[in-house]
Amino acid sequence: MQLVLLLLVLKESTFRTSWTRRRQREPQLRTSYCSREREVWLKVDLLQMTQQVTAVQNELKNEKEKSKNYSLQVEQEIQRRNLMQGDFKTQTMIVSL
């Protein structure tokens, strides 16, 4: 979860930096053409951010699935060990009788 938040913060700061650089490179917006071009750049940036968020959400979903699978494996291992201990105790009782 912390990894995901860190990625989101990092990507947002990257977005802000790239937008600032792009804005500095562009000449002053004097014509309607420039305004439309800027609007297109904003849409492109929005699309890129949406794709990045989707990628992070998919990564989070995968991490949750891995965590769930790991929890199940640990639980199965605990049950297996408990069964082995139970068998050992039963065998010890039979031998001691």
pLDDT at 1 over 70: no
How far is 19 from 42, CA to CA, in rounded Å?
A: 9
Q: List the structure tokens of 72.
A: 């199940």
Q: What is the pTM of this model?
A: 0.43
Write the pLDDT tens digit of every residue in 13-43: 665 556 566 555 555 544 555 677 777 888 8
Closest by CA position to 8, among listed 55, 41, 40? 55
> What is the DSSP secondary-structure string of 41-54?
HHHHHHHHHHHHHH
Q: Which residue, 15, 3, 17, 23, is CA-closest to 51?
A: 15
Pick 49 or 1 by higher pLDDT: 49
Decide: 29 and 41 in contact? Cβ < 8 Å.
Answer: no
Q: What integer pLDDT is reported at residue 80 of this predicted model?
A: 85
Give the model's pLDDT for residue 46.
87
Read off the pLDDT of residues 48-93 as tens digits, 9 standing for 90 and up: 899 999 999 999 999 999 999 888 898 888 888 888 776 665 555 5
